Amino acid sequence: MKLNVSLSARNQLPGTLKEIKMGQTTSHLKIDIGGHILTASITNEAVDELALKVGDQVWGIIKASDVMVAK
């Protein structure tokens, strides 16, 4: 069963899944968002549950309480 829900996160970025690198427990995904690459780390279990594969249209959803920048 799938839930049809809205999210409180406002940074919802549609893109194309370009790469999946699976590790021991965590996968690193690269999502092309209009020519910019967003990298996400999610569990291998989540990759399997979502049946993710390169070329899929996905959403990068960012929920953060703060952003830090240093130079």
pLDDT tens per residue across span 32-56: 999 999 999 999 999 999 999 999 9
pLDDT at residue number 42: 95
Does residue 56 fall inside a structural domain?
yes
Give one DSSP letter per residue of 23-62, joined into a string: -SSEEEEEEEETTEEEEEEEEHHHHHHHT--TT-EEEEEE
In a domain, 67, yes or no: no
Q: What is the pLDDT of residue 60?
A: 92
Total structural domains within the chain? 1
State the residue range of the domain holding 44: 17-61
Tens-place pLDDT, residues 10-27: 888 999 999 999 999 999
